[in-house]
Structure 1
Amino acid sequence: MKRNVLFICLDTVRADLFKEVASDLPEMADVTVEGARAPSSCTVPSHASLVSGQLPSNHGVYSYDADMRRIDHSDTLFASLTDYRTIGVSANPYAGSASHFDTFFDEFVDISPQRRFPSGMDAGTFALTTDTEGPMRYVEFLREAMSHDATLASLANGAAGLLNDRLLASDHFPRPFDNGARYVLREARERLHDDDDRPTFLYLNLMEAHEPVADTLGYDVDRSKVPRGWSSDVLDFDAINTGRAPFDEAAVGTYRHLYRTAIDYTDELVAEFIRFAEETLPGETTAVVFSDHGERLGYTPEDRQLGHNVSRLTESLLHVPLLIRNSPVELDYLSKGPFSLLDLPQLVSAVVSGKSLGQRRQLVVAERLASVVAEKFNVDATERGRLNRTRRCVYEDGQKVVWDGERSATAYEVTNSRAEAVAERSVGVPNAETSVFEVPIETADRRFDTEGGVSTGVDEAIQERLEQLGYS
């Protein structure tokens, strides 16, 4: 029997802090790929790349055109899973139905703060579509919930959403529910018990480290660093990143602590789930744990920016964890040197077939197309163009070279410290621009602009969730 594959994305987790904080998953892993680099610096293009092995300018899926259906199924890692039942459970709408990522799977479950029990009605959709105000609003919700096929789940969604929103708006109480991790893993557990003779490919996306992070019941919070009920919503990332608001070192310090706490929390839950899956599923099970991108936390004076909705390719955004447990093929050689998540389709194929992965790609590259947040900035056309500029980078000979559509290139000596990189100097555009990238960067700048927007074709409830996560 072919082995099962757990394909687990720890959304927005950067490698350096994961290495400092996480203990359970690294202890379980047979292979830890220290040099893993994401193909892009935000969810949509990175996910499209890590399932297709294509660069964003090739597959064309990015923040302003997030439709994953433009990628042919036969060009993805799912092509090697024809005998599998494929299941996805995600707390990130951009790694789910909002981007049509769910169409790659036999079964997919979206989890949100207003729909923690997916069989029930979506409390967020109800709130956005009803015109009723005051106490009658709750009466109407109760009436609809009672007539729904999953009454108890619908009532639970309403109660959980209301309680979470009320307490999140308070500075006195921790958030009662996490950012979806426990509910994602609960839904996954239920589906692993299904009676199905096929091997299982299970994709999970856990959003605990993604903004906004908040004081949460179940987190091991240091009360000397985190005031009760604190949320990173107090930080206006867009304003800070464009210099319209000061960089509040104290508040950012609290944000950093909660980010680390969220990683620790996720590490423990996922390790426990992997052990459960190995005991539950018939046959051997391989786990591949990774992140789609990291997060900027403003650690250095040269990098006073937060989040990941900026057109940048810093190490804090690209250097991500990658751990593999119980692989049937030799992968130890991946633990040294850069490794691109563009090679994840080949890795999955090697695990499924039991055949060697082969040589890693010679040049590890990454790319960020137009920025999702530029249109929200109150800046002039010149500055907006700079924010939206396509950026590319290549790792070669111990350094990273970053260049943009203006053909301005900078070389950095890569370091594992939070200083991002040292020995910055101007250089020429590297050969990778023509030897690796099929679409010239100037063409990418023109082709992948910010027309349309991420909300195209997305219902109001999902759009509200995207805005909560910092997307425009």
Structure 2
Amino acid sequence: MDNVLLVTIDSLRADHVGYHGYERDTTPNIDRLASEGSRFMNAFAHGGSTMFSFPGILTGVTPLMYGGHDRVSDSQTVVSEVFDDAGYQTGGFHSNLYVSGQFGYDRGWDAFYDSAPDQGMLASARKWAKTNLQETPVYSLLQWGYDKLESEGGINVGSYHVPADEMTDRAIEWLESTDDDRPTFLWVHYMDVHHPFLPPEEYQRHFRDDVVSDTDSIKLRRKFIEEPDAVTDEEYQRFIDLYDAEIRFNDAEVGRLVDAAEREWGDDYVMAMTADHGDHFLDHGYFGGANALDLKIHVPLFVSGWDDDGEYDELVGLTDLPSTLVDAVGLDVPRNFYGESLRKLVFDGEWDRDAVFGGWTSDDGDNHFVREEEWKLIRRPDGSAELYDLVDDPKERTNLVDDDPSEVRRLQKRIDEHLELVRATADDDVERPDMNEDVKERLRRLGYSE
């Protein structure tokens, strides 16, 4: 095969995907595509949010290497650059600002759409107030009113992301304009499964008798963020219904995108699909955050278009994905990709990975984790830790850090060994971009701490 299609879906939990055993029919197209390829049932992100996961997906490194969680270092290689150097036509389409050109992900693309939708009137007014009134008492009052409109009025006060159908339209339009005589690499990232959930009515009706209005959905989302202890069982189920409806909507768009790819390429392509992370939904007592519990880092991953339709339980990290895509079409894997090609597992029966390492930066400093098949250790900046027995406690309810000090020491050593690689690749020149207020506000409205 010559052509490559990479599909990523934001915030898609593995346990809400049909081929992972979910009882609801959320992913009929994805399930069909996965059944035609290699399904990696124990795939894990190296961080529990977009900015900490995508260094692995697109540059083959864990999030604290190269300073990659702040901005892509000049010493990193974006997977698009590999295809571009090999003569591919390259197109990337997404609307998550943490993967935008400001963060260095725009390298190696012939076409790169990272979304700049028109602001609504309220968002434009807020931008003017930020510029002209920030040092006055009026600004605090306006900020309060801005949040109040969303929390109590359910008014969508800004553009969060580009909807899946528009993203598919953009990708297909570009795909149909490409040169048939040159191979193509296309990446599309969908944001609809990330809150706020505003799925079209037809997809809500797969899971509900009544339709939740955009107004009520936005108000409910604010309650999950601001008053999680007050969320009722009925509200929780409504939120899950909306989440599943967004998955079903994204699934339909994945199907439409693949149909277009097959019109252009026939069967001459390899496809991979994954998610950057999952979501908590108040499990463990909180809604968001970049934590490393399996609810956040266990993601779906399949590769199709090569001669295999098997299911694999070996431990896989998302750093393995860019190496796999490059290797699948016979290109050389860059030396600064730190993952392994999954072809080794699928076609050679060889796989040495027994752990996934990762981390994230919080206000207190760097957090680190190691996830093995049976054990996980999460280490906090203050030296505290969480140890989970994933065999007896797969939902990670009981912290055994005080009960098994020998296991803690063993896993601490593994994290320290990984940090030697992190330090060896340190790039002191990487600085986080100076984001303008439009970017900051969109990130805040998506629940990110910008």
Select which of 318, 321, 334 maps to 2:297: 318
TM-score (norm 2): 0.75
TM-fit CA distance, 1:72: 2.9
The SS at the match of 1:467 is: helix
2:104 counterpart of 1:100: yes
Q: 1:215 to 1:413 in 2, by over 3 A?
A: same
| 2:343 is the counterpart of 1:357 | yes
**Offset, 1:177:** 11
1:391 paired residue number: 368
- The Cα offsets for residues 268-292 of structure 1, whole Å up to 9 and x where unpaired, read as 2202211221112366011111001
* Inter-partner Cα distance in structure 2 for 1:240 and 1:231: 15
Give the alignment partner of residue 396 of structure 2, picking from 421, 427, 442.
421
Tell me the residue number matched to 2:29.
24
The change in CA–CA distance for 1:316 and 1:203 in structure 2 (over 3 A counts) is same
Letter in 2 for 1:206: Y
Once the two structures are aligned, what percentage of the paired residues are identical? 21
Paired residues of 1:215 and 1:226 also in contact (CA < 8 A): no
Where do 1:76-155 residues align within 5 Å?
Answer: 76=79, 78-79=81-82, 81=84, 82-111=86-115, 113-114=117-118
Cα distance per residue 1:133-175 (max 9 Å; x no partner): xxxxxxxxxxxxxxxxxxxxxxxxxxxxxxxxx99996699x9
Give the Å deviation of 1:411: 3.2
SS in 1 for 2:400: strand
2:132 counterpart residue number: none
Give 1:107-256 correspondences, 5 Å limit.
107-111=111-115, 113-114=117-118, 179-196=162-179, 197-214=181-198, 216-221=200-205, 222-224=207-209, 227-229=212-214, 230-234=216-220, 235-240=222-227, 246-256=230-240
Unaligned runs of 5+ in 1: 116-121, 132-165, 375-384
**Structure 1 residues 59 and 433, CA, compared in 2 at 3 Å: closer, same or farther?**
same
In structure 1, the residue matched to 2:252 is: 268
C-alpha displacement at 1:110, in angstroms?
Answer: 2.4
Deviation at 1:401, TM superposition (A): 2.9
Tell me: CA distance 1:215–1:395, structure 2 relative to 1, closer, same or farther (3 Å). same
2:278 aligned partner: 294
Q: Deviations over 1:276-328 (max 9, x none)?
A: 211123660111110011111124xxx12112x24x21111000011222125
Give the 3-state SS of the residue equivalent to 2:327 in structure 1. Answer: helix
Kept after mapping to 2: 8 A contact 1:114/1:124: no
- Of 308, 324, 331, the match for 1:347: 324
Conserved 8 A contact 2:376-2:389: yes
> So what's the TM-score if we normalise by structure 1?
0.72
Partner Cα distance (2:392, 2:212) in 1: 31
SS in 2 for 1:219: helix
Whole-Å separation in 2 of the counterparts to 1:46 and 1:413: 24
**SS at 2:112 equivalent:** strand
Structure 1 pair 92–336 and aligned structure 2 pair: CA distance change class (3 A): same
User: Residues of 1 paired with 2:342 and 2:275: CA distance?
Assistant: 23
Matched with 2:357 is: 366
Assess if the C-alpha contact under 8 Å between 1:413 and 1:422 holds in 2. no
Find the counterpart in structure 2 of residue 278 from structure 1: 262
Structure 2 unmatched runs, 5+? 130-148, 332-340, 345-349
1:305 to 283, 286, 289: 286
Cα offset, 1:45, TM superposition: 2.1
- Please, what is the CA RMSD of the aligned residues? 3.9
Which SS does the other structure have where 1:434 is aligned?
A: helix
| CA distance, structure 2, for counterparts of residue 292 and residue 101 of structure 1 | 15
Shift of the alpha carbon at 1:204? 0.7
Partner of 1:138: none
Say if 1:461 and 1:176 are closer, same or farther in 2 by CA, change over 3 A. Answer: closer
Give how far 1:439 is off: 5.6
Q: How far is 1:44 from its partner?
A: 1.2
Describe the shift of the 1:231–1:113 C-alpha distance in structure 2 as closer, same or farther (beyond 3 A).
Answer: farther
Greater shift, 75-84 or 338-347, is seen at 75-84
Give the Cα–Cα distance (whole angstroms) in 2 for the partners of residues 266 and 202 of structure 1: 17
Structure 1 position 257, deviation (Å)? 1.5
Q: Structure 2 vs 1, CA of residues 411 and 177 (structure 1 numbering), >3 Å: closer, same or farther?
A: closer
Deviation at residue 42 of structure 1 after TM alignment: 0.8
In 2: Cα distance, 1:253 partner to 1:351 partner: 41
Distance 1:168 1:272, change over 3 A: farther
The aligned residue for residue 12 of structure 1 is 11
CA contact (8 A) 2:83 2:90 kept: no
Partners of 1:68 and 1:322 in 2: how far apart?
23
Task: Indicate if the aligned counterparts of 1:49 and 1:59 stay in contact, CA closer than 8 A.
Answer: no
Q: Is the 8 A contact 2:155 2:218 kept in 1?
A: no
Q: How many residues align?
A: 394
In the alignment, the residues of structure 2 paired with residue 89 and residue 123 of structure 1 have an alpha-carbon distance, to the nearest angstrom, of 26
* Superposed CA offset, 1:239-269 (max 9, x none): 457xxx6444433332221111111111122
For the residue of structure 2 that corresponds to 1:457, the secondary structure is coil
1:123 to 1:284, Cα distance in 2 relative to 1, 3 A = farther
